[in-house]
Amino acid sequence: MIFQNPSIALIGMPAVGKSTVGVLLAKQLGYDFLDTDILIQTKENMTLPQIIKKKGLKGFLDIEAAHVLGLGTELQVISTGGSVIYRERAMRHLKKIATVVYLYADLPTLLTRLSDIEGRGVAIDPSSSIDTLYKERTSLYDKFCDIKIVCGENQPGQVAADIAATLAG
């Protein structure tokens, strides 16, 4: 399978390993690496939790989308925030500039990894739960991805190797 966009965008739930896998994959492929959460924090001069607190959930999602829409076509691995899939325009842009790879892990695996939701800056309605968020987001990840990689209990290096092998066909 040959993908027309050489850049790679990683999507998936918080704590699935997008940033860790992204760094390893970028090294393996000789690509640049970009973490959109870090980009947002740098450009907004606030942490993700501060942005969510100050601008609200909708405001944060709009800010996130604006920064994703500003991404160019440089050869890179892009690690996105888990909430990027809430803005269709941002996802259409990502699909234009990159092959979108969904890093999938089941809910029990994620629950063992995801502890400090507020401290991580997870874009979640305060009245919601991780279970609800998971159910809400998984269909959107499936909708927008070009490739789905099941992470399971695999180490980040193995996940990066699985992505590279899938891309190579």
Measured at the alpha carbon of residue 96, what is the angle toward residues 94 and 97, in degrees to the nearest 5? 70
Query: pTM score, two decimals?
Result: 0.94
| 129 token code pair | 């739960």
Euclidean distance between CA atoms 92 and 94, whole angstroms: 5
Average pLDDT of the residues in 79-107: 96
Average pLDDT of the residues in 82-99: 96
Average pLDDT of the residues in 119-136: 80
Looking at residue 52, what is its pLDDT?
A: 92
pLDDT at 89 over 80: yes
Instruction: Check: CB of residue 163 under 8 Å from CB of residue 149.
Output: yes
Instruction: Quote the crossing angle between the two packed helices 48-69 and 36-44, to the nearest 10°.
Output: 110
27-80 pLDDT per residue, tens = 999 999 999 999 999 999 999 999 999 999 999 999 999 999 999 988 999 999
Query: Does residue 81 sit in helix, strand or coil?
Result: coil
Name 84's Cβ contacts closer than 8 Å, sequence gap at least 6: 11, 36, 64, 65, 68, 90, 91, 94
Average pLDDT of the residues in 146-158: 93
Looking at residue 1, what is its pLDDT?
A: 45
pLDDT at 121 over 80: no
pLDDT at 16 over 90: yes
